[in-house]
Amino acid sequence: MIQLDGICKSFGENEVLRSLDLSAKKGEMLVLLGSSGCGKTTTLSVIAGLTKEDKGDIYLEGSRINDTPPHKRGIGFVFQNYALFPHLNVYENVEFGLKAGNKRSTRGGNKTEVKRALELVGLDGFEKRNPMKLSGGEQQRVALARALATEPECILMDEPLSNLDAVVRERLRHEIAQLQRDIGLTSIYVTHDQVEAMALGDRIAVLNNGRIEEAGTPEKIFYKPEKEFVARFIGRKNIFAGRSATLDEDNGVLQISTGNFDLTTVFVPSSVGTRVKACVRPEEIILAKSDRNTIAKSARNEIAGRIVNISQNGPLMRVLVDVGGAEMSADITRLAARDLGLKGGDRVLLTFKATSVHVIL
Amino acid sequence: MSLSFRISLSLIAGIFFGFIVVVLSCLLTATSFAEFTGEIRSPEIISAILLSLETSIAVVLLALLFGIPAAYILATKRFKGKNILDTLVDIPIVLPPLVCGLAILIAFGGEGIFSRFDVLFTVKGIIIAQLFVASPFLIRSAKTAFESIDRDVMDAARTLGASEFYTLTKVSLPLARNGIASGVVMTWARALGEFGATAMVAGCIPYRTETMTVGIYMHAMSGDISASVALSLILMSFAFTTLIVFKYLGTIRDGNLGPRGAAAQ
């Protein structure tokens, strides 16, 4: 288990970490998600002891390690650029930590340990190779084997896949997830890639401006974020400010202040007039052509609007609709867009369930 | 490029190269093979050659001892006054050796701060003078080599359980080896060719403080050109060897090396 309490770190005038609290449970894969420059790498560097924190405490398995030098922390590190030793071959790279830490007698060699580590990452037989002549994916496997060979208490990975092409990245991501689960190694994985965070994390911590904005399961972070920043960061498009209007036992109605419409939600605020933010996921909206200009209120949300723009959004089409002054995005399939014959200026009806409206206090 | 321009350009360059070749060849034509072999058998010349080799090798070893830590600190650590130290290293490179010699003379002379060390007009004095003038070349070169090592590679070593010293000896030094080697070559060549500071500090005492360069000066001034020429030719052969080694090392970039034997693959 790794725990950070109130870590502060500045580089000159630049405050990178502002009282950061973080913990990774034993055997857990914690993903630190954030945009570049938010302090992700510095956080890992502080945990590993490569950067000295200005303030705060770091605990590993319950003991404070602030003053333990990096080579005695027993924390493995996998770098974005692999950071292999260019003057050593693959075997010597993996063996480096065993020799440096004097964990095994060097007389008998570390053959079994090195072999096992290379087998773990599927590079058995690569011992004599020059690491600089391997592909990016293979190099990162060597780096992984090198870190695992020392049997660290936990492992930190700093965007390990971001220099790889899409196919290799996906395969290696899958393998890292598998490996981490098999070994049960406490891991902190830094990335700016949401897909990676979603696929790998037992828990995700979203980092913003040197602080943890929100931490939770991927399910919570991606579908029910508590913070507006997180909702925006994970790409929620339809976020509306409003206040709760009428309430009944099951449903609440939110009056949206930025647009002239109401939203029905299953969220029941404690009192009328509470200021809230409402998110509607673009892919849960159903579009229909309509000439009506009325707003229906029911357990389903039905909002009329006019198409502002239609654009490509990955495999889907994103339809931007003006709804009473606010803009709402809806994602529909290409086929649906063609069948409906949608074009800019068309009047449409947006329909979505009350459960599709996520409320942020 | 027009033909006339190309011709005039080649002509000007040709004059320069021709000048160098002609001047250097004059050294060769100033002596005969018999005269040369005769001169290099003279005890004074042999003593000068040995003294030069002895002092310059001592300088290289001392420069490694003091220069590698200095270069490593300058390359990897952040501290106040680093820029001042960095500039300090360059001063002996740009300062006339005579001025360096004079400073050493005063520092180690009668009233000087180091006067209790008896180094003036001794071999120790020669070594100090040469070290002062030549060691910055090693520090410069080693520093650049250390700086070119990927910071993450050294950090990786630390997280794998290597102490800072282990990282220095097993990662940084091997990766900086070519930079250090070319620094050694430069420092050695500079020490071997040092004259001004050496003469200032150690004087020109035959058999005692007569290095090759000092010998060339003394013999030339006393009209014994053939001895000067013999010493010069030997220095020239050293210089050419140095140059070739240096150029070769320059072709291999540090931090980019393969593991042993991998270059042949």
What confidence tens digit (pLDDT) does each residue in A223-249 have?
888 898 998 888 777 888 888 877 666
pLDDT band at residue B246 using 50, 70 and 90 as cut-offs:
confident
Query: Would an 8 Å CB–CB cutoff place A315 in contact with chain B?
Result: no
Least confident of A65-69, B1-5, B39-43: B1-5
Length of chain B: 265
Q: Write the single-letter amino acid at A78.
A: V
* Whole-Å CA distances, B191 to A30, B135, B186, B213: 58, 8, 9, 10
Closest-CA distance of chain A to residue B75, Å? 17
Q: What is the pLDDT of residue B264?
A: 33
Q: What is the pLDDT of residue A127?
A: 93
Question: Smallest Cβ distance to B160: which of A81, A87, A146?
Answer: A146
Length of chain A: 361
- pLDDT for residue A277 is more than 90: no
Residue B177 counted as domain residue: yes
Per-residue H/E/C for chain A: CEEEEEEEEEECCEEEEEEEEEEECCCCEEEEECCCCCCHHHHHHHHHCCCCCCEEEEEECCEECCCCCHHHCCEEEECCCCCCCCCCCHHHHHHHHHHHCCCCCCCCCCHHHHHHHHHHCCCCCCCCCCHHHCCHHHHHHHHHHHHHHCCCCEEEEECCCCCCCHHHHHHHHHHHHHHHHHHCCEEEEEECCHHHHHHHCCEEEEEECCEEEEEECHHHHHHCCCCHHHHHHCCCCEEEEEEEEEECCCCEEEEECCCCEEEEECCCCCCCCCEEEEEECHHHCEEEECCCCCCEECCEEEEEEEEEEEEEECCEEEEEEEECCEEEEEEEEHHHHHHHCCCCCCEEEEEEEHHHEEEEC
ipTM of the predicted structure?
0.82
Please state, in angstroms and rounded to a whole number, the distance separating the CA atoms of residues A278 and A238. 8
Closest-CA distance of chain B to residue A71, Å? 4
What confidence tens digit (pLDDT) does each residue in B77-133 have?
989 999 999 999 999 999 999 999 999 999 998 888 998 888 999 999 999 999 999
Mean pLDDT of chain A: 88
Cβ-count burial of B129 within 10 angstroms (0-12 exposed, 13-18 middle, 19+ buried)?
Answer: buried
Cβ-defined contact of B175 to A86 (cutoff 8 Å): yes
- pLDDT for residue B27 is more than 90: no
Residue A330, phi then psi, degrees to nearest 5: -130, 135
Taking the CA of residue A270 as centre, how many other CA atoms within 13 Å lie in the half-sphere pointing to its CB?
Answer: 1
Q: What is the pLDDT of residue B256?
A: 47
Higher pLDDT, A205 or B252: A205
Question: Smallest Cβ distance to B160: which of A69, A86, A150?
Answer: A150
Q: What is the mean pLDDT of residues A283-302?
A: 70
Cβ-count burial of B36 within 10 angstroms (0-12 exposed, 13-18 middle, 19+ buried)?
Answer: middle
* In chain A, residues 95-124 whose CB comes closer than 8 Å to chain B: 96-97, 100-101, 103
pLDDT band at residue B218 using 50, 70 and 90 as cut-offs:
very high
What confidence tens digit (pLDDT) does each residue in A131-164 have?
999 999 999 999 999 999 999 999 999 999 999 9
Query: Residue A265 is encoded by which pair of tokens?
Result: 């939600």
Cβ-defined contact of A86 to B161 (cutoff 8 Å): no
CATH code, B200 = 1.10.3720.10
Cβ-defined contact of A79 to B155 (cutoff 8 Å): yes
Higher pLDDT, A196 or B261: A196
Residue B126 counted as domain residue: yes
pLDDT band at residue A299 using 50, 70 and 90 as cut-offs:
low
Query: Residue B212 is encoded by which pair of tokens?
Result: 């090759």
Question: Smallest Cβ distance to B158: which of A50, A130, A131?
Answer: A50
Cβ-defined contact of A70 to B158 (cutoff 8 Å): yes
Query: Residue A92 is encoded by which pair of tokens?
Result: 């010597």
Asked if A21 and A60 touch (Cβ cutoff 8 Å), the reply is: no
Q: What is the pLDDT of residue B263?
A: 36
- pLDDT for residue A300 is more than 70: yes
Query: Would an 8 Å CB–CB cutoff place B255 in contact with chain A?
Result: yes
Q: Which residue has the tokens 């040197």?
A: A210
Question: Is the CATH number of domain A238-360 2.40.50.100?
Answer: yes
Residue B174, phi then psi, degrees to nearest 5: -60, -35
Q: Which residue of B has its CA nearest to A49?
A: B159
Share of chain A above pLDDT 70, in %: 94
Chain A to chain B Cβ contacts (< 8 Å): 102
Query: Residue A62 is encoded by which pair of tokens?
Result: 């319950």
Query: Would an 8 Å CB–CB cutoff place A142 in contact with chain B?
Result: no
What residue numbers bound the domain in which B154 lies? 13-256
Contacts of B126 (CB under 8 A, 6+ apart): B51, B55, B198, B201, B202, B209, B211
Pinpoint the residues of chain A covered by CATH 2.40.50.100: 238-360
Pinpoint the residues of chain A covered by CATH 3.40.50.300: 2-233
Least confident of A21-30, B26-35, B186-195: B26-35
Please state, in angstroms and rounded to a whole number, the distance separating the CA atoms of residues A222 and A213. 14
Please state, in angstroms and rounded to a whole number, the distance separating the CA atoms of residues B148 and B242. 24
Residue B75 counted as domain residue: yes
Please state, in angstroms and rounded to a whole number, the distance separating the CA atoms of residues B186 and B242. 8
Please state, in angstroms and rounded to a whole number, the distance separating the CA atoms of residues B127 and A76. 47
- pLDDT for residue A346 is more than 50: yes
pLDDT band at residue A105 using 50, 70 and 90 as cut-offs:
low
Least confident of A233-237, A292-296, B106-110, B228-232: A292-296
Q: What is the mean pLDDT of residues B37-45?
A: 91
The CATH number fitting domain A2-233, selected from 3.40.50.2300, 3.40.50.300, 3.20.20.70, 3.30.230.80:
3.40.50.300
* Whole-Å CA distances, B63 to B198, B213, B265: 17, 21, 35
pLDDT band at residue A263 using 50, 70 and 90 as cut-offs:
confident
Give the total number of structural domains in chain B: 1
